[in-house]
C-alpha cells in the first residue's frame, strides 16, 4: 500500500497518531477534522497515500467516493445542518495543506459566515471555444 512515512494522514491510517474515526471501508477512512470549520466537519481520505486526485486511478476514486452520499447525509442529520459542502483541494495554490488526498465534508448553517461565492469572470472572445477544443483533445473526446 503506498505510504509516506512523513505524512500525517498516513500516520492516522496506521493508528500512529490519535484521531476521532467515524467510518471506514477497505479503501477509505473518515475522521473529524482537528480544526473544524463547523461541528462535525469530516475528512474522508484514501488509506493509500496519493498527493492529488489525478494521481489516483479512476476506479480507485470511484470506490473511494462511493460512501460520500452516506457521509454527507450522516453529517447533515447529526449536526442538523441545513446543507453541506464537499471540498477537495489539489495543490498548494488551491489551498491544499496536507499532501494526502482528502475530501472535506463541511456542515453548513444559515448565517454561519463561511461563505462560498468566488468571483465569476467572463471568457474573452473565442477563448471558451479554444479551451473546449483543447480539453476535448486532452480527454480524447470524439
Ligand atoms: P487542506 O487545507 O485541504 O489540506 O486541509 C487539511 C485539513 O487537515 C485541515 O482542515 C486541518 O485542520 C486538517 N488536519 C490536519 N492535521 C489533522 C489531524 N491530525 N487530524 C485531523 N485533521 C487534521
Ligand atoms: Zn499520506
> What atom in ligand 1 is closest to the CA of residue 37?
10
pLDDT of residue 116: 86
Q: Which atom of ligand 1 is nearest to the CA of 97?
A: 4
Burial class (CB in 10 A: 0-12, 13-18, 19+), 141: exposed
Instruction: Please state the domain extents for the chain.
Output: 8-114
Ligand 1 pocket at CB < 6 A = 8, 19, 33-35, 43, 89, 95-98
**Given the DSSP bridges, would you call strands 28-32 and 21-24 parallel, antiparallel or unpaired?**
antiparallel
Block residue for cell numbers 500525517: 8
SS3 of residue 24 by DSSP: strand
pLDDT in tens, 11-54: 999 999 999 999 999 999 999 999 999 999 999 999 999 999 99
- For residue 16, give the ligand nearest its CA: 1
Residue 102 bears catalytic tag: yes
1 pLDDT tier (thresholds 50, 70, 90): confident
**Would you say the pTM of this structure is higher than 0.85?**
yes
Does residue 98 contact residue 84 with C-beta atoms inside 8 Å?
no
Residue 38's CB is within 10 A of a number of other CB atoms, namely: 17
Q: Which CATH class is domain 8-114?
A: alpha beta
pLDDT tens across 80-117, in order?
999 999 999 999 999 999 999 999 999 999 999 998 88
- Return the DSSP state at 76: H
Amino acid at each position: 500500500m503506498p505510504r509516506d512515512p512523513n505524512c500525517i494522514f498516513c500516520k492516522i491510517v496506521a493508528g500512529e497518531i490519535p484521531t476521532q474515526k467515524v467510518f471506514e471501508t477497505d479503501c477509505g477512512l473518515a475522521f473529524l477534522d482537528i480544526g473544524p470549520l463547523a461541528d462535525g466537519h469530516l475528512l474522508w481520505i484514501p488509506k493509500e497515500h496519493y498527493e492529488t486526485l489525478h494521481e489516483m486511478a479512476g476506479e480507485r476514486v470511484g470506490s473511494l467516493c462511493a460512501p460520500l452520499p452516506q457521509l454527507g447525509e450522516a453529517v447533515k442529520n447529526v449536526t442538523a445542518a441545513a446543507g453541506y459542502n464537499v471540498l477537495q483541494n489539489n495543490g498548494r495554490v488551491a489551498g491544499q495543506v496536507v499532501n494526502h488526498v482528502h475530501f472535506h465534508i463541511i456542515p453548513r448553517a444559515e448565517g454561519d459566515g463561511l461563505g462560498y461565492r468566488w468571483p465569476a469572470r467572463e471568457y474573452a472572445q473565442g477563448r471558451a471555444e479554444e479551451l473546449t477544443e483543447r480539453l476535448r483533445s486532452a480527454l480524447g473526446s470524439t
